[in-house]
Amino acid sequence: MDLDLNGQVFQEGLLELEKPDVLAFFKTLYKLKKPRWERVMSVPDDIYTIRITRKCRAVVKREGDVLRFIFIHPDHDSAYRNRNR
């Protein structure tokens, strides 16, 4: 699986995270690269949310073998409010 971290909105959110959340994000990427990756929660249009930390979630989209990162939310609940952006 390839990871697409090139989205401008995603990168802006990533740069706003605090250091512990950034480290947790990269640990999550390592886990996602393993063959046993499972989606956490499905929403319409192949959009998924994945937990990064207890308070931080990412919104992603699977496109074949590519996992495209769309948003990263330091506030867990905001991942659900902004999923249709």
Q: pLDDT by residue (tens digit) across 37-57?
A: 445 455 566 778 888 888 888
From the list 50, 61, 55, the residue with the least C-alpha distance to 21 is 55
Q: Is 80 exceeded by the pLDDT of residue 81?
A: no
Average pLDDT, the chain: 78
* pLDDT value of position 84: 45
∠ CA 33-37-41, nearest 5°, is 125
User: pTM for this one?
Assistant: 0.65
Query: Which residue range(s) make up the domain with 46?
Result: 2-81
**Percentage of the chain with pLDDT > 90?**
31
* pLDDT value of position 85: 42
- Give the count of domains, the chain: 1
Q: What is the CATH number of the domain that holds 59?
A: 3.30.2310.20
